[in-house]
């Protein structure tokens, strides 16, 4: 059975969602970052860098949520990873677009409005992040024009990965009301039963 080490309200959320999508049995071991569980010797034996999420599938151990999600889609898939090379490239494109361009902006807001002690928060970093977000969301909104999903007009791991990032934006108070396509797409993918199960 797969063993999944994760923590709520972290990037492990997208892997939890992915595990529910592929429908394979797994044992979810919660790691409390607040309590330092990721630095304890027993966990470091599994994930030497102390990283979550961490997934153990037989003799395969993986960290990094995107790598884990690609692996799960490849191995257990249910059509979540396209077989066509061009479509696969677009899956990678959208996944990396979300995690490298957009997620850092949302994280800057999260760190400086919720996580760091108030005395250590940087309001200028929040303002700078908020100013950089609209062009990215507009790009996504235009890409979704006339489409229900990002790649091949069917739900793939690209939608899951990108939507998990956009969901973080909603959590930190980014206003998506001007982006009807993004809102409809987010509602569509987060309306999936697997998403609901991962949020329990």
Side by side, the strands of the sheet bearing 2-6 are: 26-30, 2-6, 54-57, 60-63
Q: Which fold does the domain 85-195 belong to in CATH? A: Glutathione S-transferase Yfyf (Class Pi); Chain A, domain 2 (1.20.1050)
Average of pLDDT values for 68-92?
Answer: 96
Which structure tokens are listed for 150? 């990002």
What is the reported pLDDT for 9? 81
Looking at the predicted structure, is the pLDDT value of residue 78 above 90?
Answer: no
Which one-letter DSSP state was computed for residue 118?
G
- Domain locations along the chain: 2-76, 85-195
Cβ atoms of 161 and 154 closer than 8 Å: no
pLDDT at 28 over 90: yes
| pLDDT for position 8 | 82
Q: Where do the H-state alpha helices sit in the chain?
A: 12-22, 41-44, 65-76, 85-97, 103-110, 123-143, 157-171, 180-190, 193-199
For 129-147, b/e burial (b = at least 16 CB within 10 A) is bbeebeebbeebbeebeee
> Which segment of 5-9, 23-27, 94-98, 181-185 scores lowest on mean pLDDT?
5-9
Q: What is the pLDDT of residues 118-141, one digit of tens each?
A: 999 999 999 999 999 999 999 999
Is residue 55 within a helix (H) or strand (E), and if so which, with residue range?
strand 54-57
Vertex 40 angle, CA 12 and 26, to 5°: 40
CA distance 124 to 108: 10
Indicate if the pLDDT at residue 14 is higher than 90. Answer: yes
pTM of the model: 0.95
Residue 53: what are its φ and ψ, rounded to 5°? -70, 160
Q: Is the confidence at residue 113, as pLDDT, over 90?
A: yes
33-65: per-residue pLDDT in tens?
889 999 999 999 999 999 999 999 999 999 999
In the predicted structure, residue 186 carries a pLDDT above the cut 90: yes
CATH top class, domain 2-76: alpha beta
Mean of the per-residue pLDDT values of the chain: 96
């Amino acid at each position: 059975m797969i063993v999944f080490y994760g923590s709520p309200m972290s990037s492990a959320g997208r892997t939890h969602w992915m595990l529910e999508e592929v429908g394979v049995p797994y044992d979810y071991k919660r790691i409390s970052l607040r309590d330092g569980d990721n630095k304890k010797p027993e966990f470091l034996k599994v994930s030497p860098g102390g990283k979550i999420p961490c997934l153990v599938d037989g003799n395969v151990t993986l960290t990094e949520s995107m790598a884990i999600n690609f692996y799960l889609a490849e191995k257990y898939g249910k059509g979540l990873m396209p077989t066509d090379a061009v479509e696969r490239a677009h899956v990678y494109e959208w996944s990396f677009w979300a995690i490298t361009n957009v997620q850092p902006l949302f994280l800057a807001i999260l760190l400086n409005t919720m996580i760091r002690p108030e005395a250590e928060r940087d309001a200028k970093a929040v303002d700078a992040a908020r100013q950089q977000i609209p062009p990215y969301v507009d790009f996504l909104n235009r890409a979704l024009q006339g489409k229900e999903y990002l790649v091949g007009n069917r739900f793939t791991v690209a939608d899951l990965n990108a939507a998990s990032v956009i969901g973080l934006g909603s959590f930190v108070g980014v206003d998506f009301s001007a982006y009807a396509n993004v809102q409809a797409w987010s509602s569509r993918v987060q309306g999936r039963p697997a998403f609901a199960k991962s949020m329990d």
